[in-house]
Structure 1
């Protein structure tokens, strides 16, 4: 007994040192991933720009300029490779040093290596890197991550759509159960809570969450989870006996100061031969009910696409993935007196920010798409959403086959068809509609 007690005391004394070593490994890995991700993203953007410049040089029959640009691309790639090797070597040195310390403290480094493999890549990691990481995991590791359903996993581009759906639905259900279980202990029914959330009515749980062992963030998550779940049910319900297949693509109920971020896919974008992304405009959000409240654009497009071409599979993504501006059109006199609201809808800054997120999500579609033939991707923007779509093409390198701009207040950085960079995707077509039923101009 004395020997056991002494051994336990020694192990307890080692725990702080073990904790420091583990923390240093985690910090070093996170920094290596961040630095490597930055270099890779910068290289990809530069190579895309060089590719565009090569296309322009060849179009002007300037072979010397094209060759010089190719040399620039090779030189820049080599320079980035040197930096990546340096990052890898630095992390490897730290890892080996700390693993040596752990061995001395009686910890099996193999356990650390398993945990290291399961560290989820940072949110800004390139989708190709994310896919390589996911594909490198063993089946049991993937199952473990899905069972644990960390929110970060479901929001990573490069993770298969089916996996993202499983994770995001599980996170959403956690958000629902957390509040409903706490309220249920006080005799409040889930039905009444959900009805209040859908109709933006207050109640004691929402007003005084601390009284129920909850936080304000728990309530925000719950309210947006209810509206996201309603959106899934809304899009799933078919007019015949068959329901539509729906997937919860990204899901972040706390994004944009509680307005929420989510996208619902009807159909599987990883397998669809035709994929459309619908981007809404001013005054829309998850919190505002865009995913379900009489908004049938995604449903109608999916149903009509399936009827028009039943031989080709279709996916339509209702993308409430950016922070859309707010403006009270019914009371414009009052609205214009609020400079923050006027600045939101009257400037392109939110479109540029949203365009960057849209481009990342849309470009990630190609990474996880199954089969040899890529999906034909159409991105549709309405109102301020059309400005967001234009900026995604012109400013953030979005790659898609078709651009459709409906009720567009302006294309901001896209001054002409060339600014949509059609060379990034073969056969880019586009149109701009003044109304849904009236063609105003066509970009070819």
Structure 2
């Protein structure tokens, strides 16, 4: 967030607290790892129907809030479970109770992180809009062409904007503090139960969201005693898939996560292992989906506030020097917020389609999610792990293909193709144990010819069909995708 006309320090002081600090303290928690630990205790214990139902309910709450992990990290024989059962002599019947408490912590933390992220994104959009309006007001004030009445109107407008910024920040801070308080209450109850069951809550302290925000020096890469790795982290990642894969295999988990924090498109880099591409792209999917949903909600609210303006009706006349009216200022402020909200929600249908396709399906790998570099959203989903498969197929799209309209159907087709291929291989001598991965790839801007209802886009799409620019660009991107599969695979697949 870049503010040119609002002092963030003064804004925080006027609001009575720092909402970004509260949000950062919550976002530092690691609910997925707590959930993994909970699953391990659940798997190791003697579950009653009551504890199983309680665990399943908490797991559903966690998955609903935390749709940003691959879900492929079971810890059925984790050291923590073994330590608890042996050194503390916890009975097997107690393990499911520990699992329920841990899962409740994970679910509540994941819900808190998701909601707080949406609130902060909304606040920042509001402040950026107010900041733009203040800049325009200050420029008008400096023009020197204002009458006394115009200056009075403008001064009131500036004052209203400043108070709006403070009020928006106060409201968000109060909501974040309420969420933080609710999570703290849940954590304290769970910690009491965990101690009763023989589990030391200090074991998850590093995974919990701390009361005060951590302030890491995240602009600098983690220190590594290997000079070549330290040097590599200070440069852009290699463009060549083979070189990138070689570097990636040498990085620690902390170094990989640091790279993602500085580049949320990390999972789209060809050459990374499929499991890592999936993990980071699911993180990005969760963030972008929450932001797009919040933007859509704001757009709906603004449309309901002024349905006539949304339809282009009853628009106040533009202001001129010597003739400045509040209704025009109000309209311009509304229009900027409305345009920004609609722009923020433009990829919502694509993101929802991808989320529906991969959510709850750990066997599906989200190998590509890109809403920024092309005219259209790009996505690729693998059914089965291509890094472990002896046979890999890739289906590519054509005319009028979109992520929101096609990714679900293409992935279903890939699923059926994989099942049939495995069936045929099972009857082929010497290939009974072969594995298959089928990939649905929408990795380029496909030509769009919507028809007579949108003649302009149809003419543009017709040009794309009759020329090979998009096809060449798509072929280049697909070739790189193939190179990435080859660099990351553990065996030599037949693609």
Pairwise TM-score range, normalised by the shorter structure: 0.3 to 0.5
Larger relative contact order (C-alpha < 8 A, sep ≥ 6)? 2
- Name the structure with the higher strand share: 1
TM-score when normalising by structure 1: 0.46
Q: Which has the larger radius of gyration?
A: 2
TM-score when normalising by structure 2: 0.42
